[in-house]
Each structure stands twice: as structure tokens, then as C-alpha cells.
Amino acid sequence: MARNNDTWILTAQCPSQLGTVDVVTGFLKQQRCYITEQHSFDDKLAKQFFIRTEFQPQASDFNILDFQEVFTARAAEFGMTFNLSEKGYRMPVVIMVSKTDHCLNDLLYRYRAGKLSIEIKAVVSNHPDLEPLVRWHDLPYYHFPITKETKAQQEAQVLQVIEETGAELVILARYMQVLSSEMAHTLSGRAINIHHSLLPGFKGAKPYHQAYQKGVKLVGATAHYINDDLDEGPIITQKVEVVSHANYPDDLVDLGRDIERQTLAHAISCHVERRIFLYGQKTIVFSR
């Protein structure tokens, strides 16, 4: 396990106190690990500390399991929770879609170009439309139709795919169904949705039409973790585009496509590189 150029990512958080940085970096020094990238943030209002470190072990006999065991004890003294993962790990994901394909197409492109560190295990949809696109990428496509009566059953099917594939992240790439509270709760912290407005403005259905009625001069997109309160999960990233009176609702929909797909891809990239910390209803995001 001590190949040269292995890079590990350590993320951790704990209550603010003296020595929070040192508990990580002092240990890395002792373990002869070279830090290649590091971000930390001490939230002075919430009194909570967050750190993300990329490091390369220098010792020829480095062993990540030993490292983890020793660090567990050290972290416990600070009430610190942490995660260790190898850089470049391709996180298994399931993508959920309906009929709209601009986000899916974008994710598939980035995936096959090697620009997202994910392994797409399956694409699940309540419609059959996007199957050819997915099949061309040699990926499994599950069509689980949904009606008011079959919602519970359909969600069970989806969850089964998620579990059987070992997906660690679920991506709602313009999935046009509201998840049940149960499902939202089950996927809490590991499902990212793209909402086509600048939340908290224009929640719910047809946000571009709402934006048009209001006469706003900017439209936006928001990537957020889902929770059981619709369109209210912790925000990860947001983007905007300038619009004018000359843009009808259909134009806003068209304009929105570019910002939606970029916003979603950026959020996924941050998640799989473990750049995001969830804390309460908010996120800490250590962008590069």
C-alpha cells in the first residue's frame, strides 16, 4: 500500500479548541506524510472546526490501517470525527432522471472524459426516454414508472438499485418527482439535487415561469443536498445568468440548462473529492 505518489484525503471536524490544526498536521509529520493541499475553517459563531488535508506518505512501510488506528485514538481526545479516502477513488453513484437530458448528457460526457471521479453504476428513470443515450455509454438503465399509487413501491425499487450497486452518492439530475420523506431521510447527506432557481427564491414547480412572472433580471441554479423538506436542503453551490424582459419563460428554460449542468457537475466534483462538510443546515465547501 506504500506505492510512491499515493495520495490520501483526510477530512475531519470537531468542536473549536486549542490545537485543532496541530492534531492533524502534527500527526502527519510524525507519520512522515507530506501535505500537498490543506484547507481548514474555524467557524467562530458555531464554534466548530473543519479540516481537509491531502497528503502523500513518504515512508516505504506506510500502512493506512495502522495510520487510521493510531489517528482514531488521537482524534477521540478532541471529539473529532474523520474520514480517510484515497485520492482518485472513483465513487460509485446512481443517477436519477426523468425526461430532461441536459444534465445527464453533461455528466455522461464528463464521466467518459475522465473528468469526474465517479463510477456510474446505474441510471434510474421514471420514463424510458433516455435509455438509448445511457446504453450508448454501456451503462445499465432502469425504467421504474411511477404513479401516485405505486410511489412507495417505485422508491423501494430505486433504493434496491442503490443498495445493490453499492452507490455512495445519488445524483438527482433533473428527476422531476418529489421524494417521499422516508426516501429523503434515507438518502440524507448522500443525495445531491439540482434545483433550477436561486434558492430560497422560487421553490417548487416551474421556477423559471415563476421568475418570469416576477420580472427578475437574473436567473440561477442551486445544487443542494436533499433532506425531507423540499428544496430546502443544505446549499452546495449556486450560479446565475443575466436575463432581460425579452426572455420569455421558454428562453429562461433554455438559458438555465447551461448553468444547471455546470452547477450540478461542480457540486458532484466537490462531493467526490470530499471538499464538502455538512453542518446543521449549511455546508462548508473547500473549493480549490
Place of cell 473543519: 50
Query: Which position among 198, 226, 264, 272 is part of the footprint of its own copies (CB under 8 A)?
Result: 198
Looking at beta carbons only, is 153 or 287 nearer to its own copies?
287
Q: Which stretch binds its own copies (CB under 8 A): 151-159, 165-173, 178-186, 247-255?
A: 247-255
Q: Mind telling me the catalytic residues?
A: 231
Query: Which position among 85, 105, 117, 186 is part of the footprint of its own copies (CB under 8 A)?
Result: 105
According to the binding rule CB under 8 A, does residue 13 interact with its own copies? no
**CA separation for the pair 95, 122 (Å, rounded):** 6
According to the binding rule CB under 8 A, does residue 26 interact with its own copies? yes
According to the binding rule CB under 8 A, does residue 216 interact with its own copies? yes
Query: Which position among 7, 165, 177, 262 is part of the footprint of its own copies (CB under 8 A)?
Result: 262
Looking at beta carbons only, is 162 or 272 nearer to its own copies?
272
**CA separation for the pair 187, 185 (Å, rounded):** 5
Contact 9, 69 (CB under 8 A): no
Min dist CB 94 to its own copies, Å, is 22
Looking at beta carbons only, is 154 or 283 nearer to its own copies?
283
Q: Which stretch binds its own copies (CB under 8 A): 40-48, 61-69, 123-131, 158-166?
A: 40-48
**CA separation for the pair 188, 168 (Å, rounded):** 11
Contact 53, 25 (CB under 8 A): yes
Looking at beta carbons only, is 126 or 207 nearer to its own copies?
207
Peptide bond just before 140 cis, omega within 30 deg = no
# of chain residues touching its own copies (CB under 8 A): 68
According to the binding rule CB under 8 A, does residue 238 interact with its own copies? yes
Query: Which position among 123, 194, 270, 284 is part of the footprint of its own copies (CB under 8 A)?
Result: 284
Query: Which position among 3, 4, 45, 149 is part of the footprint of its own copies (CB under 8 A)?
Result: 45
Paired strand residues for 43: 48
How distant is the alpha carbon of residue 215 from its chain centre? 31
Q: From residue 193, how far is each of 48, 96, 179, 190 by CA, in Å?
A: 26, 10, 11, 10
**CA separation for the pair 172, 220 (Å, rounded):** 17
According to the binding rule CB under 8 A, does residue 230 interact with its own copies? no
Site for its own copies in 138-197 (CB under 8 A): none
According to the binding rule CB under 8 A, does residue 93 interact with its own copies? no
Q: Which stretch binds its own copies (CB under 8 A): 70-78, 169-177, 185-193, 210-218?
A: 210-218
Judged by the rule CB under 8 A, the positions of this chain that interact with its own copies are 17-22, 25-26, 28-29, 32-45, 58, 101-102, 105-106, 109, 113, 115, 136, 198-202, 214-218, 220, 234-240, 244-248, 251, 254, 257-258, 262, 281-285, 287-288
